[in-house]
Amino acid sequence: MAFSVALSAAENITRCDELTAHPLDPDRITTGVGTSAVQLDAAIAACLEATDKDPGNARLRYQLARALFY
């Protein structure tokens, strides 16, 4: 089954999104990254920065949690 990602012009794709978006997350805004491909140190740093800038963003908080879990 193929999934497509609809990108809104208003969405800001962060480095956190690029490094940790789950491929099966229906709310992702960029191509997903498989578990074995997550670059943990870079992902954690990027997601900490992103959540500091936008602490109420559930997508970024989920992606930070995903990186911290591994």
User: pLDDT tens digit string along 13-50?
Assistant: 999 999 999 999 999 999 999 999 999 999 999 999 99
| Long-range contact pairs involving 29-35 (C-beta distance under 8 Å, separation at least 24) | 29/5, 29/59, 30/5, 31/5, 35/70
pLDDT at 11: 73
Instruction: Please name the residues in contact with 33: beta carbons below 8 A apart, sequence gap of 6 or more.
Output: 18, 19, 20, 21, 22, 23
Mean pLDDT of all residues in 45-65: 98
